[in-house]
Chain A
Amino acid sequence: MTIDLTGDPAALRTALESSLGEAGRAWLREALAQAQAQAQAQAGAGAEAGAPGPRAALPPWEIRFAEAGRHCDAPGAAAARVLLLCTAGVDAPTLHRLYAHGTAAERRAVLLALPHLAHAREGSALPLVEDALRTNDTRLVAAAVGPYASAHLDPHAWRHAVLKCLFTGVPVDSVHALARRARGDSELARMLADYAAERTAAGRPVPDDLTHALTLTATTAHSDATPCPAPVPAPKVPAEES
């Protein structure tokens, strides 16, 4: 079963529960209760809350976060981890620690959860997105280019994220709001055209996704962006998000 990991937490929980057997649902209920208890304890502790010391025992919900793959299949484990992060009320130091200490699957869950975490709304978790975009692990790159990246990456970093997807084979449809941000972006168009030219010079095919992204950079009627010399057939369709 496919679970939409970009959905809101309530929808995510509904989808996840319907995909689990009875044992899995029992595990999820207990794990979320532990995460809820953590959120309440943290709220009660106020400013004293934060990361445990280096040798302190991990909170129970963090153990559930680590072991999700033993109770759910891979898509379900990702959904469970996102739900746990949303429920536990993690503060910024905890979030950064969970990413830094995480497996690739755990880091991916942190990236997927970012749009739902209130404390990260001002962009404080951007270093995690930037870290993921430096990797060549396509699972992390794809998770990094979601709504949080769209909202917070500056134009230079965002353009490089688009190129990174093309270089590593991550479908550009993974890039949240690609059409909106790409529209009229003449610098992105130049970068894409240069990449296409480089591939053509090497005798390599230009990926369809590159052509697609280049199409999306087309200006609207009133834009003053510089038209780019495309090495591929000129776009024939309006640049609308599909």
Chain B
Amino acid sequence: MRIFDPHIHMTSRTTDDYEAMYAAGVRAVVEPSFWLGQPRTSPASFFDYFDSLLGWEPFRAAQYGITHHCTLALNPKEANDPRCTPVLDELPRYLIKDSVVAVGEIGYDGMTPAEDHALAAQLQLAADHGLPALVHTPHRDKLAGLHRTLDVVRESHLPPERVLLDHLNETTVKAARDSGCWLGFSLYPDTKMDEDRMVALVKEHGPERILINSAADWGRSDPLKTRRAADALLAAGFSADDVDRIVWRNPVAFYGLSGRLDLAAPATPPSLHEGNSILRGGE
């Protein structure tokens, strides 16, 4: 089984995770830029993070045979901190990079005026750079947040077929589907979606425009949720073709809108010794 995790924060994960993901069938990931848990206090902190998503993390992923792309943006939470908002002025020089396949994560956290501005500005940046957008829907007041998100998308120059709405669930899927946007579902051990609910949701709505992701990060999360969901779908009677569509072809189609998706398997790097490791020396 080939799996494309379209939303995973590998910066927060270990090399054991990369090994386990490869063994489970994960061959490609997209890492959206987001909040690191500890709030940032300056644009420079973002730049080092962006550089890592364009340099070190793809190198690390390649050690394990996994292709790594990223999405870059000022995230909704930190869009509220005036110490961070100058990042918006510097984003254009990052959005031209080869492995940037979308603007994201953008969207709402607390639905503030500052978030309105950052969302609209970054949808425009996506349109200006020929990129699609990965839009995080808020955890608090989710349905209202989805409707407000859709209003801003409709007012933007980015058509809905170039927008992926993420962290959807049973309460938001219908409005999201009716909008014409792509539909992202994050599967977590405790929150967001789980495998059984995902099966029920695909039974009701079909595999069209649906993407599933682990959104694994520094919190309680599981980078193998994509595989677990795929297994659950197969066990529920979905065909291998349906599952391949959800865990591979749909993410390829969405991020392929950027024209920058390069899924050539990483060359085995010279540092790959005995099937292992990011060498620090003496290992």
Contacts and interface: CB of A to CB of B under 8 A. Distances in A.
A180 interface: no
Contacts of A157: none
Contacts of B54: 103-104
A127 interface: no
Contacts of A156: none
B68 to A, nearest CB: 11
A29 B273 CA distance: 40
B282 A169 contact: no
Interface residues of A, number: 31
A63 B269 contact: no
> Would you call the interface of chain B mostly helix, strand, loop, or mixed?
loop
B260 to A, nearest CB: 6
Contact of B93 (A101, A138, A139, A142): A101
A142 B90 CA distance: 30
Interface string A117-160: 00000000000000000011111001000000000000000000
Q: With a 10 A CB-CB cut-off, give which of A54, A104, A204 has the most chain B CB atoms.
A: A104
B98 interface: yes
B282 A103 contact: no
Interface stretch (A9-17, A65-73, A184-192, A219-227): A65-73
A138 B282 contact: no
B100 to A, nearest CB: 9
Q: With a 10 A CB-CB cut-off, give which of B56, B93, B282 has the most chain A CB atoms.
A: B93
A170 B281 CA distance: 12
A63 to B, nearest CB: 6
Contacts of A135: 56
Interface string B261-273: 0101000011111
A66 B98 contact: yes
B280 interface: yes
Contacts of B55: 103-104, 107, 137
A171 B98 contact: no
A138 B269 contact: yes
Interface residues of B, number: 27
B270 A104 contact: no
Interface string B244-283: 0000000000000001101010000111110000111110
A198 interface: yes
A58 B59 CA distance: 27
B58 interface: yes
A231 to B, nearest CB: 15
Interface in B86-107: 89-90, 93, 96-99
A137 B262 contact: no
A218 B58 CA distance: 39
B98 A68 contact: yes
B270 A103 contact: no
A212 to B, nearest CB: 15
Interface in A188-218: 198-199, 202, 204
Contact of A66 (B96, B264, B271): B96
B46 to A, nearest CB: 13
Contacts of B262: 69
B279 A136 contact: yes
Nearest to A66: B96
Nearest to A63: B96
A55 interface: yes
A103 B55 CA distance: 6
B270 A70 contact: no
Contacts of A199: 282
Contact of A169 (B89, B96, B98, B270): B270
A90 B165 CA distance: 42
B207 to A, nearest CB: 29
A138 to B, nearest CB: 5
A204 B90 CA distance: 47
Nearest to A69: B98
Interface string A156-175: 00000000000111110000
A137 B56 contact: yes
Contact of A142 (B51, B259, B260, B270): B270
Contacts of A58: 93, 96
A226 to B, nearest CB: 25
Interface string A56-84: 00100001001111100010010000000
15 contacts: A63-B96, A66-B96, A69-B262, A74-B264, A77-B98, A103-B51, A103-B55, A105-B98, A136-B279, A137-B56, A138-B269, A138-B271, A169-B270, A169-B271, A170-B271
Interface of A: 54-55, 58, 63, 66-70, 74, 77, 101, 103-105, 107, 135-139, 142, 167-171, 198-199, 202, 204
4 closest A-B pairs by beta carbon, nearest first, are A167-B281, A69-B98, A104-B55, A169-B271
